Structures are given as C-alpha cells and as structure tokens.
Structure 1
Amino acid sequence: MISLTTKDISKLVQEIRREYGLPESPFRIDEVRYDKEGDKLFIIAHDRTDKSVIIGNSLVIGKLRKRLGVRQVTVYSNLDLEIKRRKLEEAKKLISGTELEFLLPIIEAEKKFPPRKWPDVKGDVKTLIFLSFNAKALLGFADRLNLPYEAVGIRYAFPKLEYEPVEAEPREIFFPNEEKLLRIAKERGTRLVLADFPFGLKFKDGVVLLNPFRLLHIGFFELKYLFGFERPVIYDKKALVDFVVSLTYEGLMESTDGANIIWRMWRK
C-alpha cells in the first residue's frame, strides 16, 4: 500500500461522510500506522470524539477499508492508548518478582501496540482454564504462551470446544466463581487459573487468578481477530447484560459490539 499521511486519510474520511450524507463534523487524526505484514491500517485519533467521527457507525471505516484495499482498518484514540500504557505499567509492577514474569516480554510488546507483535514466550506454570465468555481466546492465549493446561467448563456450554465438564451455574460464564476455581486448582496442584474474572490479577492462597485480557487491557474486538470467538450456548441473560456493561465501561468493548452481543444472545 502507498504510504498515506494523516491528511490523506482525513480527506478520504471527509469525502465518504459527505458522500453518504453524514454531518461534516470536525475531527483530528494524530497518526497513521500501517502494518505491512498483516495488511492492517491503524488510525490514531486525537480523542474519543474524533474516533467516533472517523468510524461513523462502522459505515465510514468500512468504506475507507474498501477504498484503501487493505485487510483491516482500526481506529484508536490517543486516550485509549494512554490508558492502556498506564495499565500495562501497573501490570508490570504486579508481576515483577513473581512466577508470572514470563509475561513481561508480552507487556513490553503491548506498550508498542499498534500493531501487535508478540515475542515467543514459554510459560512453565501448570494452568487451569475455566471456559467462560472469552473461552476461545483463553485457550488461544494459553497455546500462544505455551502454557501446560487443563480446560474445564459448564457442560454443553461450548459444544465445539474440548474440555472437562464441571458443576457451575450459567452466571459463571460471565462471572466465574473464584472460590470454586481456587478449590479445583488446589485439588489438581494447579498454580494458575485463567478465566474471565472481573479483575486482571489476584494472588490467593498460593494460586494466581488471572484474566489476561484485563491485565493487558485487550478489548473484545481485538480478541476476536487474535483468537476468534465462540459464543456460549448456556448462560444467564441478566449476567450477560451486567458483563457487557462492565466491559464497555472499562473501555474493553465498544458500545456497538456490546449492543450486538446482547441482541443476538438475548433472542435465544
């Protein structure tokens, strides 16, 4: 792809908005990054308002991708990236000096995002994965980091995935039961538990409870492209709404993605 400047992209966005009758709202693009390897264009908007104008309810960004002929166009705001960098600094302090130090190269790589370029890492920690909402991403993360793991989950919740069924309530798809997983981990001699916990990291009774995506501040949209997504078929609808709201509030899910997930999963 020919090198494009912020002015080039701004001009195209303005043209598309005019062409489709959208308001000529002002916006500012601070930076444009192109990942040749993945054929991905990253647009860094000044703030979240600018980001919304550029995305244009997905219509503008979709038309922009077609005009540029790239595989993917993603927009971030400088605020999004600054929040991510600060959370990564906090994560670095939390894991320094612990058995999770194998995550440090991943944290350093995430600070340079976008694009995402993870180094090869081997995590030699016996791991238990509870298949919750981001089940496929949790498995993909463990595989990517070469973690030795066992996967457990609610019977029939993920028909296409292989795992050992355990007793759990449908609500736990979104809000895993810490005490239950801690007990299972201790019974199996597991030192690390991966699940969609409502926190990034917690050390408890000699076991590490980790939601890697909250720790690394990786949103739902990115996870879909990284590892794919498999919707659960057993879940609690009220917990679904609470879960989506929490992710949206923390900047880990776009409101449009959240609304779409609730609409699709609520119908079943």
Structure 2
Amino acid sequence: MEHDFAYYQKSADYVKSKIDFQPELAIILGTALGGLADEIENPVIIPYAEIPNFLVSTAPSHAGKLILGRLAGKNVICMSGRFHYYEGYSFEQLSVPVRLFKNLGVQHLILTNAAGAVNKSYHPGDIMIITDHINLMGASPMRGKNLPEFGNRFFDVSSMYDPALRKIAWDCATGSGLTIHEGVYYYFSGPQFETPAEIRAVRVLGADAVGMSTVTESLTAAHCGIPVLAFSVLTNMAAGVLDKPVGGDEVEETAQKVAVLFRAYIKRIVQSI
C-alpha cells in the first residue's frame, strides 16, 4: 500500500509533541545491543505501539521503543529494537523508521547489527565498519510512487556508507579494546541462517559478513540524504566456516560479551560527529 507524505509526517508530529528538542543524530540498535539506550540522559521513552503509522517489532531481544534524550553531548533518537523483512513487513514498510528520522530533522544515522563472519580472518567479537553492501533480493524500500519530499526518484548510493563518518570511526577505534575491520555486508532475508553453500558463494562475490537487517535502513537514508555509519558486531562464524551449527544463543552471547566496550566506542563516535 502506497502512502503520501502526510502519512509519514503524522508519526513525526506525534514524536515532536513528546519532546522539546530536535534530535540531531539517530541510532538503531541491533540484536543484544540495546544497553546503549540505558545510557541516554533525561530519556523520553515512546513505545512503538503508541506512534501513529509506525511498525511494531516482533524479534526476540528487541525492546520495541524509541528513546530520545542526550548521549555524549548530542540530542539523539535511539531505536531499541528494529524491524526486519522476515517479520512479515515489506521492503516499502521498512522505510518507515528512517523517514521518521528525516521528518524530525536528524542529520546523521548510526546503524548496528549482529552478523556472521564470512571473511575467515575475522573472529567472533570483532567489529566490522560497513563500507558497502550486496543486496540481491531484487527489492528496494523505495519501490512504488516516489515522494519528492524525501528524495529523488533515482538516487546515488556509491557513498551510502559515508567516508567521513567511517574516518571518525577509525579515529575513535584507538584504545577501544576492540578489533576493528572494514568490509562488505551481504543481506539475506532470514529468518533461517544461511547454508554453507550460500556462504561459499557470497565469499566469492566479495562479502565479509552476512546478516538480516541494515540494508533497508541504509537505502532509505541514502534516498533521504542522511549520511550513514554502520557496524556489524561479528557474533559467530558463518555457516560452514566451522564444523558446528549456527545458533541464536551464540549470537546473543557474543554480542553481550563485547557490549560494554562497543557501547563506549559508539559513545566516543557520537561525541566526535
């Protein structure tokens, strides 16, 4: 179903009615990484279910709420819990959160996710700064009628993962205690993990990590003209790399192990933007 600009503006008007400041930076938190939201000062918490024309998260470990306030000296809006294609949403519906950010005046977007490592030199607990992605789903969140209030019908994505923001991320990595890489993220729809044959194929195509999120948000941000900085927390080796099955428990456990260091790293980046 196609919607006009007023449909998206209604969500923003509701959020604006709850705050007395304009968020300048948005953060979407991935699996088991929601603890950063607890560090937001003077938080205004809005459950997704209360926001007109918004979506509702169904993924385990995703809290399903907006938190607005101050983080590292910036006015921020944080999504604790994101939306996925595997929940039953269309690509077009998955444009909703970033379009809300645009209508609130957000200037930068930080995305985080939990991902499987395809690159055999990576290890669980490492962090990958996303430089590019591969999406062969044949779908786009911008499918359907274009809304020029958000962006042009045809738009460039060659620098979607903003080089200037990536440089800041590298500058902030010193002393973080984290092992940082740069690499390419391959999008799979999920909810099943990938097969070993699929992982061998995407390695040939140039992927360093695989996951089930982030791409729709990045594409919507590119359409809206919002610079993106995106990270994968490498929570496991992808299927077939090790002689053991991939499971959700491993994803959660690894993400929790690096959560404290990763939160401190993100806060340093927020302060530096």
Tell me if TM exceeds 0.5: no
Larger relative contact order (Cα-Cα within 8 Å, sequence gap ≥ 6)? 2
For Structure 1 versus Structure 2, the TM-score category normalised by the shorter chain is under 0.3
TM-score (norm 2): 0.27
TM-score (norm 1): 0.27
Higher strand share: 2
* Structure with max Cα Rg: 1
